Structure 1
Amino acid sequence: MNFQRKQFTGNELVSIYRELLLPRLIEEKMLVLLRQGKISKWFSGIGQEAIAVGCSYALQNDEWLMPLHRNLGVFTSRGMPLHKLFMQWQGDQDGYSKGRERSFHFGSAAHHICGMISHLGPQLAIADGVALAHKLKGEQKVALAFSGDGGTSEGDFHEALNVAAVWDLPVIFVIENNGYGLSTPTHEQYRCENLVDKAKGYGMEGVQIDGNNILTVIDTLRGVRDYCLREQKPYLIECMTFRMRGHEEASGVKYVPQQLFAEWAQKDPVRNYEQLLLSEQVLTPQALEQIQQETKQYIEKELQLAAELSSPVTLNIAAELQDVYAPPVLSARSYEEALEKGCTEKRLIDAIKDGLLQSMELHDNLVLMGQDIAAYGGAFKITEGLFERFGASRVRNTPLCESAIIGAALGLSLEGFRSVVEMQFADFVSVGFNQIVNNLAKIHYRWGQSANVVIRMPTGAGVGAGPFHSQSTEAWFVHTPGLKVVYPSNPADAKGLLAAAINDPNPVLYFEHKALYRSVSGQVPDAYYITEIGKASIVQQGKDISVITYGAGVHWALEYAAQHPEISLEIVDLRTLLPLDETAIRQSVQRTGKVLVLHEASITGGIGAEITAWIAEHCFELLDAPPMRCASLDTPVPFNTELEQQYLAKSRLHQSVQALLQY
Structure 2
Amino acid sequence: MQYQAEHLQENELIALYKNMLFPRMIEEKMLILLRQGKISKWFSGMGQEAISVGVTMALKAEEYILPMHRNLGVFTTRKIPLEQLISQWNGKASGFTKGRDRSFHFGSQAHKIIGMISHLGPQLGVADGIALAHKLQNKNRVTAVFTGEGGTSEGDFHEALNVASVWQLPVIFCIENNGYGLSTPTNEQYHCKDLADRALGYGMESHIIDGNNIVDVFTKVKAIAESIRQNHRPVLIEFKTFRMRGHEESSGTDYVPNSLFETWKTKDPIDNFEQFLQSISVLSEDIINEIKTDFTHNINEAIAISFEESEITPSESVELNDVYQQIKYQEVAVKNDFDNIRFIDAISESLKQSLERHDNLIMMGQDIAEYGGAFKITKGFIEQFGKDRIRNTPICESAIIETAMGLSIAGMKSVVEMQFGDFISSGFNPVVNLLAKSHYRWGQNADVVIRMPCGGDVSAGPFHSQTNEAWFTKTPGLKVVYPAFPYDAKGLLATAINDPNPVLFFEHKALYRTLKQEVPKDYFTLPLGKASVVRKGKDITVISYGAGVHWALDTLDQHQDIAADLIDLRTLQPLDTETIYNSVKKTGKVIILQEDSLFGGVASDISALIMEHCFEFLDGPVKRVASLETPIPFAKNLENQYLPKDRFEKALLTLMAY
The bucket for the TM-score relative to the shorter chain is over 0.9
Residue 122 of structure 1 corresponds to which residue in structure 2? 122
Residue 489 of structure 1 corresponds to which residue in structure 2? 484
Match of 2:451 among 444, 453, 456: 456
| 8 Å CA contact 2:331, 2:526 repeated in 1 | no
Match of 2:525 among 515, 522, 530: 530
Aligned partners of 1:347 and 1:491: how far apart in 2? Answer: 6
- The one-character-per-residue Cα deviations of 1:364-418 (angstroms, maximum 9, x if unpaired) are 0000000000000000000001111100000000000100000000000011100
- The one-character-per-residue Cα deviations of 1:204-259 (angstroms, maximum 9, x if unpaired) are 00011100111111111111112222221100000001111110011111000011
62-71 or 362-371: bigger deviation: 62-71
Aligned partners of 1:202 and 1:83: how far apart in 2? Answer: 42
| 8 Å CA contact 2:362, 2:389 repeated in 1 | yes
2:635 paired with 1:636: no
> The residue matched to 2:450 in structure 1 has which SS?
strand
1:575-614 equivalences under 5 Å are: 575-614=570-609
Residue 320 of structure 1 corresponds to which residue in structure 2? 319
Match of 2:371 among 371, 376, 381: 376
1:48 aligned partner, one-letter code: Q
Aligned partners of 2:103 and 2:25: how far apart in 1? Answer: 17
Aligned partners of 2:381 and 2:586: how far apart in 1? Answer: 46
310-319 or 154-163: bigger deviation: 310-319
CA drift of 1:332 comes to 3.5
> The residue matched to 1:619 in structure 2 has which SS?
helix
Residue 88 of structure 2 corresponds to which residue in structure 1? 88
CA drift of 1:568 comes to 1.2
Match of 2:342 among 328, 343, 347: 347
| 8 Å CA contact 2:373, 2:419 repeated in 1 | yes
1:244-643 equivalences under 5 Å are: 244-308=244-308, 310-333=309-332, 337-338=333-334, 340-643=335-638
Residue 47 of structure 1 corresponds to which residue in structure 2? 47
| 8 Å CA contact 1:55, 1:221 repeated in 2 | yes
CA drift of 1:651 comes to 2.1
Aligned partners of 2:42 and 2:433: how far apart in 1? Answer: 22
- Identify if the C-alpha distance between structure 1 residues 430 and 67 changes in structure 2 by more than 3 Å, giving closer, same or farther: same
Q: Could you list the runs of 5+ residues in structure 2 that have no partner in the other structure?
A: none
1:168-183 equivalences under 5 Å are: 168-183=168-183
Aligned partners of 1:155 and 1:282: how far apart in 2? Answer: 46
Residue 202 of structure 1 corresponds to which residue in structure 2? 202
> The residue matched to 2:107 in structure 1 has which SS?
coil
Aligned partners of 1:237 and 1:107: how far apart in 2? Answer: 23
- The one-character-per-residue Cα deviations of 1:476-511 (angstroms, maximum 9, x if unpaired) are 001100000000100011001110010001000000
Residue 226 of structure 1 corresponds to which residue in structure 2? 226
TM-score after normalising by structure 1: 0.98
2:42 aligned partner, one-letter code: W
1:613 aligned partner, one-letter code: A
1:71-220 equivalences under 5 Å are: 71-220=71-220
| 8 Å CA contact 1:343, 1:524 repeated in 2 | yes
> The residue matched to 2:106 in structure 1 has which SS?
coil
| 8 Å CA contact 2:479, 2:501 repeated in 1 | yes
> The residue matched to 1:207 in structure 2 has which SS?
strand
1:82 aligned partner, one-letter code: L
Residue 12 of structure 1 corresponds to which residue in structure 2? 12
| 8 Å CA contact 1:341, 1:527 repeated in 2 | no
4+ residue runs of structure 1 moved beyond 6 angstroms? none
2:553 aligned partner, one-letter code: L
> The residue matched to 2:429 in structure 1 has which SS?
helix
1:357 aligned partner, one-letter code: K
Pairwise CA RMSD of aligned residues?
0.8
299-308 or 143-152: bigger deviation: 299-308
TM-score after normalising by structure 2: 0.99
Aligned partners of 2:537 and 2:50: how far apart in 1? Answer: 70
Aligned partners of 1:627 and 1:67: how far apart in 2? Answer: 51
2:646 paired with 1:645: no
Q: Could you list the runs of 5+ residues in structure 1 that have no partner in the other structure?
A: none
| 8 Å CA contact 2:591, 2:622 repeated in 1 | yes
Matched residues, percent identical?
A: 58
| Number of residue pairs matched by the alignment | 658
| 8 Å CA contact 1:123, 1:145 repeated in 2 | yes
CA drift of 1:303 comes to 1.0
Aligned partners of 1:236 and 1:257: how far apart in 2? Answer: 29
Aligned partners of 1:110 and 1:155: how far apart in 2? Answer: 31
2:324 aligned partner, one-letter code: Y
Aligned partners of 1:227 and 1:601: how far apart in 2? Answer: 52
Residue 24 of structure 1 corresponds to which residue in structure 2? 24
223-232 or 607-616: bigger deviation: 223-232
| 8 Å CA contact 2:128, 2:163 repeated in 1 | yes
Aligned partners of 1:490 and 1:67: how far apart in 2? Answer: 45
CA drift of 1:329 comes to 4.4
